[in-house]
Copies of this chain bind each other. A is one copy, B any other.
Amino acid sequence: MLNMNPNTSPLSQQLHEQLLQLITETSPGERLPSEPALAKDLGVSRATLREAMRTFETQGLIHRKQGVGTFVVHPTHVIESGLEKLESIESLAERIGLPVKMGDFQIDERTASEEECKALLLETCETVTVVSRVIEAEDRPVAYLFDILPQDVLSSDDLDFSFTGSVLDFLLRRGDPELRTSRTEIGAVAAAPEVARALGIQRGDVVLRFVATLFSGEGQVIDYSISYFLPGYFRFHVIRRVG
């Protein structure tokens, strides 16, 4: 049988979605259909199905046992809503049902500071684009976000009507460069004067800070961002696995 899938990215994409849906629809502890049955249903070979299953097993969503079957394990959907997945604040807020709007917004183009230069892995400290914005929920600021990018990745001219404020969403929609992973450092800090002013709190009040470095598929640094969150409005969690 020929592979008549026209997608550039493989049919695995669709297969993964179908399988994920099946898993989330199945109650924890229940057994999935056998591999031959599933493969026939989904129209793929058992080898392909098994490779996809391995993905979910690695993520801890399912548990396979020889001679018995494949079972859905407990925490299921929890994983999907954690920090493992990189998404914009807007998309996160929408998912958790918190209506947000954008407050103060600003774009600058300036020479990178030494710290920014180092974080972006720039040989020469060239011009960078700095996007800063405030997120508001329930008519009060709840997050203060910075994005710092090399000008050749994003310049102020690139931004058009489709730009909603989220640099991440914009880059994902544009599709170039290809984004892959983000290394996010998590800390609690006292608000600096500028942060306190943006968030409408007292200088020295406690805020949650994310410092993130966004990598492309080739390992280039695409975006260096600093985010300040007011405690109480967002809940971040991460799934940790035993060695």
Contact = CB atoms under 8 A, between A and B. Distances in A.
Interface in A175-189: 179-189
Contacts of A181: 60, 75, 239-242
A67 interface: no
Given A54-B54, A84-B240, A85-B241, A219 B183 contact: no
A51 interface: yes
A183 B242 contact: no
Nearest to A191: B206
Contacts of A188: 188-189, 206-209, 229, 231
A243 interface: yes
Contacts of A187: 208, 231, 235-236
B184 A240 contact: yes
Given A206-B190, A231-B188, A86 B215 contact: no
By CB atoms of chain B within 10 A, which of A59, A188, A207, A231 has the most? A188
B242 A180 contact: yes
B208 A28 contact: no
A83 interface: yes
A167 to B, nearest CB: 13
B55 A86 contact: no
A94 B199 CA distance: 37
A6 interface: no
A183 B231 contact: no
Interface string A22-63: 000000110000000000000000010011001101111001
A191 to B, nearest CB: 9
Nearest to A230: B188
A203 interface: no
A108 interface: no
A242 B179 CA distance: 7
B215 A185 contact: no
A207 to B, nearest CB: 6
B238 A83 contact: yes
A186 B206 CA distance: 14
Interface of A: 28-29, 47, 50-51, 54-55, 57-60, 63, 73-75, 78, 82-87, 172, 179-190, 205-209, 212, 215, 217-219, 229, 231, 235-243
24 contacts: A29-B218, A29-B219, A55-B57, A58-B58, A75-B183, A75-B215, A75-B219, A82-B183, A84-B84, A84-B240, A86-B241, A86-B242, A87-B243, A179-B242, A180-B242, A182-B240, A182-B241, A184-B238, A184-B240, A185-B237, A187-B231, A188-B188, A188-B208, A188-B231
